């Protein structure tokens, strides 16, 4: 294998602290594995070398790549949590049964929240508090500067204190505790720290930009005797701030060691040259970063930015372009669609599944077809075609509020049973009779018409407005779900067909969620921008490049905007050949500022016509067009 000068410098580094700044596609994994091999060839025992990565999958991959290079099997590969959990097991006697996670951890947190007198019924708030707890722990428990997002500071620290006490009461630890307890162990028992400092002499850390303050303190302590610490990362790809990752740590690393060597891997072997140029123009707008002069090694590729009328047109356009790429011989698993949030992809997921395109979900995604609004409408539909059950009636009798008591369906499962229950109550009987009449009318309608009747005549929209106020949610979010549902059923001729379609689509998403870790070959990959990190594909689509999406509308500080820009940069640099970015002008939403910051040069490019069905789309470079729902251009090319 041939290496460039900066790679050789990194591989041959032996003693002392070294920071390797490795941009996208710079061959950092090869550098790490070959440096390990070089250390062993120089006489360093494999058992004295520790390699730390951030995920179990990355550790396994790194170990496998090293094993193909060397026969030495004494090198330790692991994650921060696996390493320090192992230390806690040996030194403090912890066992696997002591770990609490998932729903069991959440139940303890809910108990801690209720002890403060706060409402713990809203799981979104509970999840936000859980994220705040993790961020606080990972940043080193600095109460003076920490500002929680979910609740006010005073309540947060009460919840946090209760949470710690409850875990001690139940004699359990969570993943956040593993690192903090190890830190306290090293501080309080120097002999234990000394023992583990003598265990390893050389330390290699991958993806340093994902490190949080506590992890940085721990690795500094562990490597304190030799200072033979070799860290590889890219501050431009630090995207896990919500977990406590701190991009400034790479700068702190330089400042922490007077004799630190810094090496920049500045050749990009992945991206087309015009993508490298555009990505650098984008990320150069950030102030908290190392300046890098990245040199591309590949020719220009396709860079296309398309404006569509709405999410339906966006999904149609991407589907058409995917078909075009497949027709050109690109394997399905070399095509990826990236997005900021799972909800941003629901129209595309629906289109791909409806058209029978195999998909792979990297992460378990919210099953949009199980949204409470869709399940409400489906319950109305099921009752309308004679599939009434007690649970379905209970779901809809007061959506909107008809002031009908649950007891009215205790002994029956049909609307007629409710009428019988209220036979001696005139006003309630009339309300139940109106429900019965509405159900009969719905049964004769098309699904599209039935949904609009439920919303506007029966008053379901009024119920949603009240529900939005109660939950502190935007009513627009609920109307978006209804618009999505209307799009799903628009071609269904009757209600039964609509129900069957919803059930099939719901099953497909559930199946992909359950099988997300297996069999991604021969499938188009669907990834959040976060989960796409470290991956590469021939063709990459990034959808929803609008202000309020990317950057997120919660990014209200310069630091937060820089974090969003790094996230977009990660997405842009996943492609090996072709990059397609889409945004919508729905409700006159602005396109993302990041598109203008990429300063794509269109001066020497040409644009090709796109047929209305998109099956014969020609490949074209660096152009921006606007597309309607059927995929046809609705405006001439325009430049950023």
In this chain, the answer to whether the domains covering 5-90+179-265 and 295-364+518-598 adopt an identical fold is yes
Q: What string of DSSP letters covers 162-191?
A: HHHHHHHHHT-B-HHHHHHHHHHHHHH-HH
Q: What is the mean pLDDT of residues 474-498?
A: 91
Class of domain 370-506: mainly alpha
Per-residue pLDDT for 606 more than 70?
A: no
pLDDT of residue 45: 94
pLDDT digits (tens, 9 = 90+) for 575-591: 999 999 999 987 667 89
Per-residue burial over 311-348, b if 16 or more Cβ lie within 10 Å, else e, is: bbbbbbbbbbbbbbbbeeebebbbbbbbbbbbbbbbbb
pLDDT of residue 91: 94
Residue with the two structure tokens 């509020």: 401
| Annotated binding residue 447 | no
Per-residue pLDDT for 259 more than 60?
A: yes
| Annotated binding residue 306 | no
Which stretches of 43-174 are DSSP H helices?
56-69, 80-92, 102-115, 123-138, 153-170
261-265 β-sheet, strand order: 76-79, 49-53, 202-205, 229-233, 18-22, 261-265
CA distance 312 to 210: 35
Q: How confident is the model at residue 317 (pLDDT cuts 50, 70, 90)?
A: very high
| Annotated binding residue 631 | no
pLDDT of residue 2: 87
CB 183 within 8 A of CB 217: yes
CB 25 within 8 A of CB 271: yes
pLDDT of residue 72: 72
Task: Please tell me whether residue 577 adopts helix, strand or coil conformation.
Answer: strand
Per-residue pLDDT for 353 more than 50?
A: yes
Q: How confident is the model at residue 634 (pLDDT cuts 50, 70, 90)?
A: very low
pLDDT of residue 120: 81
Q: What is the mean pLDDT of residues 46-73?
A: 88
> 590 Cβ partners below 8 Å, 6+ apart?
546, 547
Q: What is the mean pLDDT of residues 541-565?
A: 91
> 182 Cβ partners below 8 Å, 6+ apart?
84, 87, 88, 218
Q: What is the mean pLDDT of residues 62-79?
A: 88
Q: What is the mean pLDDT of residues 137-158?
A: 77
Q: What is the mean pLDDT of residues 53-58?
A: 85
| Annotated binding residue 432 | no
CB atoms under 10 Å from CB of 389, counted, come to 14
User: 83 or 412, which is more confident?
Assistant: 83
> 348 Cβ partners below 8 Å, 6+ apart?
314, 315, 318, 319, 337, 526, 543
Task: Please tell me whether residue 570 adopts helix, strand or coil conformation.
Answer: helix
| Annotated binding residue 29 | yes
pTM: 0.80
| Annotated binding residue 28 | yes
Q: What is the mean pLDDT of residues 404-410?
A: 90
User: 245 or 559, which is more confident?
Assistant: 559
Residue with the two structure tokens 């629906």: 350
Per-residue pLDDT for 332 more than 50?
A: yes
pLDDT of residue 330: 95
Domain 295-364+518-598, second-level architecture: 3-Layer(aba) Sandwich (3.40)
Q: What share of the chain is helix, strand, coil (3-state, %, to 5)?
A: 50, 15, 35
Average pLDDT value over all residues in the chain: 87
| Annotated binding residue 23 | yes
Q: How confident is the model at residue 618 (pLDDT cuts 50, 70, 90)?
A: very low
CATH of 5-90+179-265, one of 3.20.20.20, 2.40.30.20, 3.40.50.1110, 3.40.50.300: 3.40.50.300
Strand stretches in 159-300, DSSP E: 202-205, 229-233, 261-265, 267-268, 295-296
Q: What is the mean pLDDT of residues 81-97?
A: 92
pLDDT of residue 141: 59
CA distance 469 to 496: 33
What's the burial of 299, exposed, middle or buried (CB within 10 Å: 0-12/13-18/19+)? Answer: exposed
Q: What is the mean pLDDT of residues 301-310?
A: 92
Min mean pLDDT across 123-132, 233-242, 617-626 is at: 617-626
Sequence ranges of the domains in the chain: 5-90+179-265, 100-172, 295-364+518-598, 370-506
N-terminal to C-terminal alpha carbon distance within the chain: 41
Q: Which two tokens stand for residue 302?
A: 């396709």
pLDDT digits (tens, 9 = 90+) for 184-199: 999 999 999 999 999 9
Per-residue pLDDT for 270 more than 50?
A: yes
Instruction: Tell me the range of 67-76, 230-239, 356-365 where mean pLDDT is highest.
Output: 230-239
| Annotated binding residue 358 | no
Min mean pLDDT across 28-37, 278-287, 562-571, 624-633 is at: 624-633
Would you say the C-alpha torsion 395, 397, 399, 405 has a positive or negative sign? negative
User: 59 or 620, which is more confident?
Assistant: 59
pLDDT of residue 501: 92
Q: Which two tokens stand for residue 41?
A: 């060839």
Taking CB atoms within 8 Å and a gap of at least 24, the contacts of 370-378 are 370/506, 371/481, 373/464, 373/478, 373/481, 373/482, 373/485, 374/481, 374/485, 374/502, 376/460, 377/451, 377/454, 377/485, 378/499, 378/502
- Taking alpha carbons only, the member of 176, 230, 180, 172 closest to residue 200 is 230
Q: What is the mean pLDDT of residues 488-503?
A: 93
Q: How confident is the model at residue 31 (pLDDT cuts 50, 70, 90)?
A: very high
CA distance 441 to 451: 12
Taking CB atoms within 8 Å and a gap of at least 24, the contacts of 355-358 are 355/319, 357/319, 357/322, 357/332, 357/524, 358/332, 358/522, 358/523, 358/524
Q: From residue 404, how far is each of 140, 376, 379, 429, 635 by CA, in Å?
A: 53, 17, 17, 9, 53
pLDDT of residue 620: 31
Q: Which two tokens stand for residue 598?
A: 């990429």
Per-residue pLDDT for 133 more than 70?
A: yes
């Amino acid at each position: 294998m041939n290496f460039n000068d900066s790679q050789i410098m990194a591989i041959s580094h032996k003693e002392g602290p070294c920071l390797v700044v490795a941009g996208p596609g710079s061959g950092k994994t090869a550098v790490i594995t070959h440096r390990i091999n070089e250390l062993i060839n120089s006489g360093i025992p494999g058992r004295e070398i520790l390699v730390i990565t951030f995920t179990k999958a990355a550790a396994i991959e790194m170990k496998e790549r090293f094993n193909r290079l060397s026969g030495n099997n004494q090198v330790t590969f692991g994650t921060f949590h696996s390493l320090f959990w192992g230390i806690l097991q040996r030194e403090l006697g912890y066992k696997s049964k002591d770990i609490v996670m998932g729903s069991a951890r959440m139940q303890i947190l809910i108990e801690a929240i209720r002890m403060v007198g706060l409402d713990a019924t809203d799981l979104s708030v509970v999840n936000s508090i859980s994220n705040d707890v993790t961020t606080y722990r990972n940043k080193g428990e600095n109460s003076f500067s920490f500002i929680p997002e979910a609740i006010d500071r005073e309540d947060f620290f009460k919840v946090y204190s209760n949470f710690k006490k409850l875990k001690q009461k139940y004699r359990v630890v969570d993943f956040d505790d593993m690192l903090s307890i190890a830190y306290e162990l090293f501080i309080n028992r120097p002999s234990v720290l000394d023992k583990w400092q003598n265990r390893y002499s050389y330390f290699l850390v991958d993806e340093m930009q994902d490190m949080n303050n506590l992890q940085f303190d721990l690795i500094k302590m562990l490597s304190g005797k030799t200072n033979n610490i070799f860290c590889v990362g890219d501050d431009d790809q630090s995207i896990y701030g919500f977990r406590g990752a701190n991009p400034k740590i790479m700068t702190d690393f330089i400042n922490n060691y007077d004799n630190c060597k810094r090496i920049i891997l500045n050749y990009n072997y992945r991206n087309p040259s015009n993508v490298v140029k555009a990505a650098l123009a984008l990320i150069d707008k950030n102030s908290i970063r190392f300046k890098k002069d990245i040199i591309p090694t590949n020719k220009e590729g396709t860079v296309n930015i398309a404006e569509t009328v709405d999410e339906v047109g966006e999904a149609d356009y991407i589907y058409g372009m995917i078909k075009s790429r497949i027709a050109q011989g690109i394997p399905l698993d070399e095509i990826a669609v990236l997005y900021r949030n799972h909800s941003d992809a629901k129209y595309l997921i629906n289109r791909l599944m409806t058209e029978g395109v195999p998909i792979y979900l990297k992460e378990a995604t919210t099953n949009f077809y199980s949204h409470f609004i869709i399940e409400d409408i489906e319950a109305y539909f099921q009752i309308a075609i004679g599939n009434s059950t007690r649970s379905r009636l209970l779901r809809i009798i007061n959506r909107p509020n008809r002031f009908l008591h649950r007891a009215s369906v205790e002994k029956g499962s049909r609307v007629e049973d409710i009428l019988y229950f209220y036979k001696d109550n005139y006003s309630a009987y009339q309300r139940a009779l109106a429900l019965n009449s509405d159900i009969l009318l719905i049964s004769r309608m098309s699904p599209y018409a039935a949904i609009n009747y439920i919303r506007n005549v029966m008053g379901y929209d009024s119920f949603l407005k009240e529900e939005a106020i109660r939950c502190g949610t935007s009513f627009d979010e609920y109307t978006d779900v209804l618009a999505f549902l209307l799009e799903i059923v628009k071609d269904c001729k009757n209600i039964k067909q609509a129900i069957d379609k919803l059930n099939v689509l719901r099953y497909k998403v559930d199946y992909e969620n359950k099988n997300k870790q297996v069999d991604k070959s021969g499938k188009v990959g669907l990834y959040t921008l976060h989960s796409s990190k470290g991956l590469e594909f021939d063709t990459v689509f990034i959808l929803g490049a609008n202000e309020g999406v990317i950057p997120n509308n919660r990014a209200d500080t310069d630091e937060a905007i820089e974090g969003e820009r790094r996230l977009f940069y990660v997405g842009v640099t996943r492609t090996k050949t072709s990059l397609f970015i889409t945004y919508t002008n729905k409700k006159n939403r602005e396109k993302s500022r990041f598109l203008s910051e990429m300063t794509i040069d269109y001066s020497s490019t040409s644009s090709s016509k796109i047929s209305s069905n998109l099956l014969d789309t020609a490949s074209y470079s660096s152009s921006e067009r606007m597309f309607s729902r059927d995929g046809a251009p609705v405006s001439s090319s325009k430049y950023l």
